[in-house]
Structure 1
């Protein structure tokens, strides 16, 4: 038999086998994708060394956002991800939709939007699949490159099992949002549709309703309003978590997202100015020339300066927010005790960022995975 045919047949067999091994089983994930992260930037760069060090095996990837466009009078995608790198083997495309989409859209518009979202997810996944193909050593003169490229892309599309829909729906938008979920479940019938769940939606099921899906990703962060000057830490705390997670259990199976990110909240005359991403105490506490250290992670600017996207004036206050290792471990312990999860439930960290991970510690992150038996 021609060597070209033998090699190509073997290659096709291996990819078909890989695709079969990751087919969804009912409404469950597979048993090897529970150590998860969220990736929420517009450009993706892989870091296989850090990924392997963490022994992570799943990644939620924000593909794009959808917002209402007043000019065209319809919802439109924005901030799509781009990359020349390939994704980890287990990944979940994620799409964020603003509440305005559901405030403004008719059911007919939502039907069309669902189909457009499916096509855009397919297009972005195709792009990632092409990156995976060109990033590997398939360039062999014996093989038909176009055929192999199509096989790799097809395997990429079959690889993921679920799509995460992210929306902070309200009592006023829940009916249209739930309608949209039922529609996209039909349009993406080969995938499980999962939904992000804010803590208030977890607690107030009568107001928020329960989405028509099999499982949700509970977001255990952003527990208070960042623009409130009197808040100590808007990201998370065990005391705030306990206010939400108590009493009746949620009627759906849950995955859990925990915070390892940090930021600084900028205030002027006690009025909110903005958020400065990836900020830590060490950025300010030893800079005695530019900042005066106050209590509770707050600093007063001693000079005018540009920081991030903001012009900071003398006298402005910065509140640095992060989660200590002890606080996060205490939260994890409490969640494990209070929230029923199945063996497929993912523990995911927000977000995949090398500086966040190194600030918190790879071993500490692995310990929390282990705490949940992952």
Structure 2
């Protein structure tokens, strides 16, 4: 009898260990208009055993009260050995325009995706819709999702913002197979000391509602940085692909605190004119930030995510992780 009991205990211990070893898959968003992976990007994908990439296929914008596709991605990669998930970004203005026939738009989007896949020899199993819908556009957005599901034979996912989690009873929940929580762009871009990409205090006020959200969620985490160009205490523009290291090696800029650089000599840099006295606020994400995000989300999520998707796959964003190529697997393991 003791042997039987010991056997059962051993079995359940093994089962428990095997369950603990299961962790979310690492994925990336690819947000460039030309799909061509460089060696650095391929190395990171290989090191983190990435099999799936979420690729922005095209945007849908409004022109003369019609929904039109913009900037479709061009595939220059000869052999694509990754599962590709087409991501379609639809501007909210499209959903607000009553003249747009939602069923026709759904059909046109699905047809265009199929044409792009056929042209590039891509087989996809999932399509993702990215739209920051509002209370005013809620009904039309939810109807569009229903129309798209009638046409598509693919798994359907949708991006979910933090406010759509906290107030889901008002904003509605799209009828999709899963959602992807966009855990970034939390604050306003402003000439202050806050990080608009990620602020833990802001995040905490939303994620306490996660356990009640009735939709399976994957998680999208930021790895990008940018600069906020400020003049006379007003934001001039957001400059992409800018970080501390870039400005620290430029003598036209002087670091004044943890986030800010002052222009000490006027200069044109990257096509942007920086006037003496201007300020550049660097907003970025650290490894410590990512660990905190994972720990906080794990505490409040109703279930474990299937995918942890990093935004976005680009050598500039990856350079902070080249000394620890498997770091993204570590982040996924924290969930």
Could you say which TM-score interval applies, normalised by the shorter chain? 0.7 to 0.9
Could you tell me which residue of structure 2 aligns to residue 327 of structure 1? 289
Partner of 1:205: 168
SS at match of 1:323: coil
| Aligned pairs for 1:1-374 within 5 A | 34-47=25-38, 48-70=42-64, 73-85=65-77, 86-106=79-99, 109-129=101-121, 156-157=122-123, 160-188=124-152, 190-226=153-189, 228-247=190-209, 249-287=212-250, 289-342=251-304, 345-360=306-321, 361-372=324-335
User: Unpaired segments of 5 or more residues in structure 1?
Assistant: 1-30, 130-155
**Alpha-carbon distance change, 296 to 198 in structure 1, aligned in 2, over 3 angstroms:** same
RCO comparison, higher one (Cα < 8 Å, 6+): 2
Give RMSD over aligned pairs. Answer: 1.9
Deviation (angstroms), 1:245: 0.3
SS of the residue corresponding to residue 284 of structure 1 reads: helix
1:248-298 CA distances to partner (integer Å, 9 max, x unpaired)? Answer: 5211000000111111111111211111111110111243x3112112310
**CA 115–199 in structure 1, closer or farther in 2 if over 3 Å, else same:** same
Please report how far the alpha carbon of residue 83 of structure 1 lies from its aligned counterpart in structure 2 after TM superposition. Answer: 1.8
Shift of 1:306: 2.2
Counterpart-to-counterpart distance in 1, 2:23 and 2:302: 19
User: 1:232·1:296 contact (CA, 8 Å) conserved in 2?
Assistant: no
Query: What are the Cα deviations for residues 37-67 of structure 1, in whole angstroms up to 9, with x where unaligned?
Result: 1101111112433321222121100000000
Q: 1:309 to 1:174 in 2, by over 3 A?
A: farther
| Alpha carbons of structure 1 residues 35 and 318: separation in structure 2 relative to 1, 3 Å | same
C-alpha distance in 2, partners of 1:83/1:164?
Answer: 18
Q: What are the ranges of 5 or more consecutive residues in structure 2 without an aligned counterpart?
A: 1-21
Task: State the 1:161 CA deviation.
Answer: 1.8
- Tell me the secondary structure at the aligned position of residue 33 of structure 2: coil
Q: Could you tell me how far apart the structure 2 residues matched to 1:292 and 1:341 are?
A: 46
3-state SS of paired residue (1:362): coil
How far did residue 213 of structure 1 move?
Answer: 1.7
